[in-house]
Amino acid sequence: MIRSFTICLFFGLLLFSCKGEKQQESAPEGTEVSIKYAKGFRITRFDGYTLVEVRTPWPDAKKGITYLLTEKGADVPENLDYDLKINVPIQSLVVTSTTHIPSLEALGVEDRLTGFPSTKYISSEKTRKNVDEGRVKELGNNESINTEMLLDLQPDVVIGFALDTNNKAYETIKNSGIPVVFNADWVEETPLGKAEWIKFFAPFFDKQAEADRIFAHIESEYSRARALTQDIKERPVVLSGAMHKAVWILPGGKSWAAQFIKDAGGSYPWADTEDTGSLFLSMESVLDKAAPADFWISPTLFDSYTALEKANPHYTQFKPFQNKTIYTYSKTKGDGIGMLYFELGPNRPDIILKDLIRIFHPDKLPDYEPFFFKPLNP
């Protein structure tokens, strides 16, 4: 009797195991999109739908958010785990950061943008034209988006960004039935990591092939430029930033800005710090470490030596001030009041890198004309 029970139990477990294996085998297998540098998102494609996971939607987020993008008539498994469903391809959207706009333009879908907070900061030529002709509506600002106007637009989706979970405007939008998707490109710590977020936008418009091709070109151009400086032994010392009130704000050693200096063949005095964002130092400490620097880049919004000296006479003690080797992005502007460096720069790190190589090592790119970085005015 015991033996019979044991045999039945054995075959019962075997049958259960076989059923479990059969269920696992029948589960759909997706194809993960190649993401080489960005750490903040993952895309998995299936037949008729795509899962987009934003791993860290804001700093210190406890968990990620998974978006299910479904094509019309797609057969989606009932037990699929996701947070928000969106029908694609989308025909209209609102974005909330100027860094989102170059991706839309590169993918050829800028005409689907219907609203933006603080349109005066948009510099990209195509979207600026749409703003001026009334096709992109003004929605206030990110801190207090005009939700009434946004709800009137009824976009298919809103692409937002957040510092934390406390955003009442986004809650109002979500409660009205309009999906809010969080983009965390700004959290990325490397130049190519930021640029790779063009792939994040692709599945919303069925533009994956285009995004892959565009990023492959950016990656190739960046890698070719970086290779020009890898064997350089004498690296010029490069200072960055400027004073803001009582502190000098400059890039941390593990920030994307510091990575540019390294890849361009420069030596950064604070390269050994572990900060991925900004450092906040005193004038005295910066003078002590970087007074004899060879170059000074990104002196915040200053565009002339006269303005620098007027703001703080101590700036004249730095060698780049005396030798007139200070370069700024503040002179490169579009038709809006924003700066192209902040809008286009994160999307085109290859251009930033070439600019800096031309400045630090002009013999490496003798025929290249810098786009973002220009010499300070007298």
Give the per-residue pLDDT at 337.
84
Q: For residue 169, name the pLDDT band (cuts at 50, 70, 90).
A: confident
Given CA atoms 80, 56, 97, 333 in this order, what sign does their dihedral have?
negative
> How far, in Å, CA of 101 to CA of 93, rounded?
11
Choice between 161 and 69, residue whose per-residue pLDDT is larger:
69
Residue 81: pLDDT band with limits 50, 70, 90: very high
In the CATH scheme, what is the code of domain 233-375? 3.40.50.1980
Q: Band the pLDDT of 334: cuts 50, 70, 90.
A: confident
Q: Model-level pTM?
A: 0.90
Using 50, 70 and 90 to split pLDDT, how confident is the model at 297?
A: very high
The yes-or-no answer to whether 31-220 and 233-375 have a common fold is yes
State the average pLDDT for the chain: 91
- Give the sign of the dihedral formed by CA 314, CA 316, CA 318, CA 324: positive
Predicted confidence band of residue 96 (pLDDT cuts 50, 70, 90): very high
Q: What mean pLDDT comes out for the span 54-65?
A: 89
pLDDT tens string 233-285: 999 999 999 999 999 999 999 999 999 999 999 999 999 999 999 999 999 99
Domain boundaries, the chain: 31-220, 233-375
Q: Is-contact 279 268, C-beta < 8 A?
A: no
Q: What is the pLDDT of residue 354?
A: 98
Burial of 32 (0-12, 13-18, 19+ CB in 10 A): exposed
For 181-210, give one letter per residue: b (16+ CB within 10 A) or e: bbbbbbbbbbbbbbbbbbbbbbbbbebbeb
Q: Could you tell me the CATH superfamily of domain 31-220?
A: Nitrogenase molybdenum iron protein domain (3.40.50.1980)
What is the predicted pLDDT for the residue at 26?
A: 52
In the chain, pLDDT over 90 holds for what percent of residues?
Answer: 81
Average pLDDT score over residue span 77-87: 94
- pLDDT confidence bin for 305, thresholds 50/70/90: very high
What phi and psi values does residue 270 have, to the nearest 5 degrees?
A: -110, 25
Q: What pLDDT score was predicted for residue 60? A: 82
